[in-house]
Amino acid sequence: MDFNYSNEQMALQETLQRFIARDYGFEQRRELARSTLGFSAGAWAQYASLGLLSLPFPEEYGGLGGNGVDIMLVMELAGRGLLLEPYLSSVVMGGGLIRAAAAEPLKRSMLPRIGAGELKLALACYEAGGRYDLSHVACTAVYRGGGWRLSGEKTVVLDAPSADYLLVSARSSGEVGDSNGISLFLVAREAPGVSLSAYPTQSGGRAADVGLEDVALDANALIGVVDGGLSPVEWAVDQGIAGLCAEAVGIIAALNEATLTYLKTRKQFGVPIGKFQALQHRMADMLIAAEQARSMAVIAAVAADAEDARERRRAISGAKAYIGQAARLVGQQAVQLHGAMGVVDELIVSHYFKRLTMIDLSLGNTDFHLERFSNAP
């Protein structure tokens, strides 16, 4: 039982904090969100040089062998800085999936390049009508002539526009909704038959719908075993959720700081509005929510490394559902306590609020995970 960061972790934290303060101010971030790419290629290179992009990978693949707590630490700061780079998609989920499920040669070829920032991945695991159900896969994978043919559509694939490769879940057998019969494929975004309909997201990132028209793949494009793709995808998504939980906790903390400062500086009726007890108690509620949310993010970060899938799923769904509600409280109240200043684009408050809202709607919202938690004994 130990709640302290190691010295390495604290060093990493400080480096990243310095980087955000120096190179990732609110104005720069807004410019990046408006840019075509939607994030900073320079920042991405810096993450590589800081080792962030290889953090979770084992040493033998040029990684730092980091664990869930290391990712929590990074993602919390990603939240505070509202970082736009596809870290979660490319490193935590994409790279994590390669590491967890791909064959040895592929790992050896890809992980170092991901870590070096030369390669970006995106996870294409949701489809129309499935909402957040990972087994709702209609996209087909047919084995023919020594290779695979993929056809279908994946929706709202986060960070797809900038990804070199997509990790696509497709149905190699069974019916839509079956847990078995889902296989996982590595598809070059530029491959013939792959089409993207790209758009920005409500919180400044990028995503796309992906069309797959009879896309031809080699046999070795298959990641893991045929028909056994669901559990690695669930694992990868759970890694992503743990990351989102930490990101949300970083934003919650930042919003509480901003709101507290506003309460102390904004004067009405001749006094700082923080002198009004109703607002003081609201702020106290927000602090309590932040502490509880942080505890849940710790639970999720530790559970992300758990061997037992049921244990992992339950803890991580619980954390996502709890933090979704805490984020809603803090986000809405931070806006409310900022009054009109909370609903304008020019302050970071509204951007934090929008990001928290989109975090809830990503990789399964509060209701989805509340159900998954409460259905698990």
Interaction of residue 336 with another protein, rule CB under 8 A: yes
H-run or E-run covering 322:
helix 309-337
Burial zone of 211 (CB within 10 Å; 0-12 exposed, 13-18 middle, 19+ buried):
middle
Paired tokens of 303: 């559970």
What distance lies between CA 377 and its chain's CA centroid? 27
Residue type (1 letter), 361 = L
Interaction of residue 180 with another protein, rule CB under 8 A: no
H-run or E-run covering 211:
strand 206-218
Burial zone of 176 (CB within 10 Å; 0-12 exposed, 13-18 middle, 19+ buried):
middle
Stretch that binds another protein, among 82-90, 108-116, 185-193, 344-352 (CB under 8 A): 344-352
Q: Please report how the helices 309-337 and 230-265 are oriented relative to each other, as an axis angle in degrees rounded to 10.
A: 30
H-run or E-run covering 43:
helix 41-50
Interaction of residue 129 with another protein, rule CB under 8 A: yes
Q: Count of residues binding its own copies (CB under 8 A)?
A: 5
Judge contact between 78 and 87, C-beta under 8 A. yes
Identified binder of another protein from the candidate list 22, 59, 105, 269, rule CB under 8 A: 269
What distance lies between CA 294 and its chain's CA centroid? 17
Looking at beta carbons only, is 4 or 277 nearer to its own copies?
Answer: 277
Identified binder of another protein from the candidate list 109, 173, 195, 220, rule CB under 8 A: 195
Interaction of residue 202 with another protein, rule CB under 8 A: yes
Site string for another protein, 270-289 (x = CB under 8 A): x--xxxxxxxxx-xxx-xx-
Interaction of residue 213 with another protein, rule CB under 8 A: no
Paired tokens of 373: 């938690």
Judge contact between 55 and 116, C-beta under 8 A. no
CB of 69 to another protein, least distance (A): 5
Interaction of residue 265 with another protein, rule CB under 8 A: no
Alpha-carbon span 277 to 231, nearest angstrom: 50
Q: Which residues contact 291 (CB under 8 A, 6 or more apart)?
A: none
Alpha-carbon span 209 to 126, nearest angstrom: 10
Stretch that binds another protein, among 43-51, 80-88, 194-202, 246-254 (CB under 8 A): 194-202
Paired tokens of 35: 């840019």
Stretch that binds another protein, among 89-97, 98-106, 127-135, 139-147 (CB under 8 A): 127-135
The residues in 67-86 that bind its own copies, with binding defined as CB under 8 A, are none
Interaction of residue 4 with its own copies, rule CB under 8 A: no
The residues in 273-332 that bind its own copies, with binding defined as CB under 8 A, are 276-278, 280-281
The residues in 315-334 that bind another protein, with binding defined as CB under 8 A, are 318, 321-322, 332
How many Cα atoms are found within 13 Å in the side-chain-facing hemisphere of 251? 35
Identified binder of another protein from the candidate list 48, 50, 106, 358, rule CB under 8 A: 358
Alpha-carbon span 239 to 350, nearest angstrom: 27
Interaction of residue 5 with its own copies, rule CB under 8 A: no
Alpha-carbon span 172 to 202, nearest angstrom: 34
Identified binder of another protein from the candidate list 26, 108, 177, 179, rule CB under 8 A: 177
Picked from its own copies, another protein, none, the partner binding residue 314 (CB below 5 to 8 A depending on kind) is none
Looking at beta carbons only, is 147 or 272 nearer to another protein?
Answer: 272
Picked from another protein, its own copies, none, the partner binding residue 143 (CB below 5 to 8 A depending on kind) is none
Judge contact between 195 and 210, C-beta under 8 A. yes
Stretch that binds another protein, among 162-170, 216-224, 244-252, 347-355 (CB under 8 A): 347-355
Looking at beta carbons only, is 109 or 197 nearer to another protein?
Answer: 197
CB of 318 to another protein, least distance (A): 5
164: left (phi over 0), alpha (psi -120 to 50) or beta: alpha
Q: Count of residues binding another protein (CB under 8 A)?
A: 91
Identified binder of another protein from the candidate list 50, 116, 226, 299, rule CB under 8 A: 299
- Please give the residue ranges that form the binding site for its own copies (CB under 8 A): 276-278, 280-281
